[in-house]
């Protein structure tokens, strides 16, 4: 059941070098997220490498945090989340943590899962199931109770396997989560190669029709940002980006849905073994 009340939600967007992705993401949020009010926090750690937030994006940001020191690839994601979470307003009961390159048309999914989280004190997190054989919660798009973030300093204190760290932290604090099924499955099994609509090396889907999301790195696309815009028009089922021509949307949507659904038929370890929590060595 969707959450019907208009409420203020914090959106914590982290970015390093995906400045162009961020620009379009902010525009999409402004133009299509209409069911709630949003307080946009952008935290960046790429300025020293020349990745500057463009002036045209500044009016769409409520709070911009620029970190001068970059903690590096493994710790950088954690650094952005920890610093950004310090600026979540007290009147935002929920926070959406979002990668700059994860675009979503409309905010129906946000309202739906806030409604689910609001039904239980123990439920604090909603995101996709990241791995098949171990408990892992996606961090590219996740809805979290803000109070839980503020009370748990170690929630974002990770280096390796961030998705597993999040799941382990919830377990250790007796908190519960719900999967955002519209963003699943995330991956195809490791024995599958060259699967359509997945990032080649990661075997991860980059389009999700049910949530109207595209999430992929433009360097993996032959035509870069232009191709990503076309995919977005397809999942949105509208010509949001009018500067690109998107033909045969219905046919492409059918193919996306077919290949995504077919992946559910592949043999997975979770069919035979229960999920476990990954032991993460410091």
Give the pLDDT score at 5: 57
Whether residue 209 is contained in a domain is answered as no
Whether residue 258 is contained in a domain is answered as no
Whether residue 274 is contained in a domain is answered as no
Give the pLDDT score at 220: 67
Angle at 71 between CA 228 and CA 173, to 5 degrees: 90
Whether residue 241 is contained in a domain is answered as no
Least confident of 36-45, 162-171, 245-254, 270-279: 270-279
Give the pLDDT score at 71: 74
Whether residue 163 is contained in a domain is answered as yes
Three-class SS string for 148-217?
HHHHCCCCCCCCCCHHHHHHHHHHHCCCEEEECHHHCCCECCCCCCCCCCEECCCCEECEECCCCEEECC
Give the contacts of 110 (CB within 8 A, at least 6 positions apart). Answer: 9, 33, 35, 36, 96, 143
Whether residue 22 is contained in a domain is answered as yes
**What is the C-alpha separation between 225 and 22, in angstroms, rounded?**
12
pLDDT in tens, 232-257: 999 999 999 999 999 999 999 999 99
Cβ atoms of residues 248 and 224 within 8 Å: no
Share of the chain above pLDDT 70, in %: 95
DSSP assignment letter at 276: B
Considering its fold, how many domains does the chain have in total?
A: 1
Burial 165-198, CB ≥16 within 10 A → b, else e: bbbbbbeeeebebbbbebbbbbbbeeeeeebebb
Cβ atoms of residues 139 and 162 within 8 Å: yes
pLDDT in tens, 94-106: 999 999 999 999 9
**What is the C-alpha separation between 246 and 234, in angstroms, rounded?**
7
Angle (deg, nearest 10), helices 19-32 and 225-236: 20
175 pLDDT more than 90: yes
70 pLDDT more than 90: no
Give the pLDDT score at 141: 98
Give the pLDDT score at 200: 75
Give the pLDDT score at 270: 83
Whether residue 90 is contained in a domain is answered as yes
User: Could you tell me the pLDDT band of residue 65, with boundaries at 50, 70 and 90?
Assistant: very high
Give the pLDDT score at 85: 97
Radius of gyration of the chain (CA): 18
Q: What are phi and psi of 221, to 5 degrees?
A: -105, 135
Give the pLDDT score at 202: 80
CATH number at residue 69: 3.90.550.10
Q: What is the mean pLDDT of residues 122-136?
A: 96
Q: Whole domain around residue 53: which residue ranges?
A: 8-181
Question: Within the chain, where are the H helices?
Answer: 19-32, 73-85, 108-117, 146-151, 162-172, 225-236, 249-262
pLDDT in tens, 189-233: 988 988 999 987 788 999 999 999 999 776 666 767 999 999 999
**What is the C-alpha separation between 269 and 130, in angstroms, rounded?**
14
Instruction: Give the helix/strand (H/E) hosting 144.
Output: strand 137-145
**What is the C-alpha separation between 215 and 104, in angstroms, rounded?**
9
pLDDT mean across residues, the chain: 92
Cβ atoms of residues 263 and 188 within 8 Å: yes
CA 2 from chain centre, in angstroms, equals 19
Whether residue 281 is contained in a domain is answered as no
Angle at 18 between CA 24 and CA 144, to 5 degrees: 80
**What is the C-alpha separation between 97 and 95, in angstroms, rounded?**
6
163 pLDDT more than 50: yes
């Amino acid at each position: 059941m969707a959450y019907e009340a208009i409420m203020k939600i914090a959106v914590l967007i982290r970015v390093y070098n995906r400045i162009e992705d961020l620009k379009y993401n902010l525009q999409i949020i402004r133009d299509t997220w209409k069911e709630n009010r949003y307080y946009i926090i952008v935290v960046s750690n790429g300025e020293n490498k020349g990745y500057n937030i463009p002036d045209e994006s500044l009016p769409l940001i409520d709070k911009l945090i620029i970190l001068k020191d970059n903690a590096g690839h493994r710790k950088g994601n954690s650094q952005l989340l920890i610093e950004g979470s310090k600026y979540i307003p007290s009147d935002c009961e929920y926070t959406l943590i979002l990668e700059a390159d994860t675009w979503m048309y409309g905010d129906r999914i946000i309202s739906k899962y806030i409604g689910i989280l609001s039904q239980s004190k123990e439920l604090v997190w909603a995101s996709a199931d990241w791995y098949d054989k171990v408990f892992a919660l996606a961090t590219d798009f996740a809805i979290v109770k803000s109070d839980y973030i503020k009370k748990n300093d170690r929630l974002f204190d990770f280096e390796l396997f961030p998705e597993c760290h999040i799941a382990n932290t919830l377990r250790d604090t007796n908190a519960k989560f719900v999967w955002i099924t519209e963003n699943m499955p995330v991956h195809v099994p490791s024995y599958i190669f060259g699967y359509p609509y997945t990032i080649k090396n990661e075997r991860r889907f980059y389009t999700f029709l049910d949530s109207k999301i595209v999430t992929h790195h433009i360097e993996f696309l032959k035509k870069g940002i232009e191709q990503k815009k076309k995919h977005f028009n397809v999942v949105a089922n509208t010509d949001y980006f009018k500067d690109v021509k998107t033909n045969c949307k219905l046919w492409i949507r059918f193919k996306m849905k077919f290949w995504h659904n077919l992946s559910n038929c592949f043999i997975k370890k979770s069919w035979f073994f229960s999920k476990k929590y990954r032991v993460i060595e410091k």
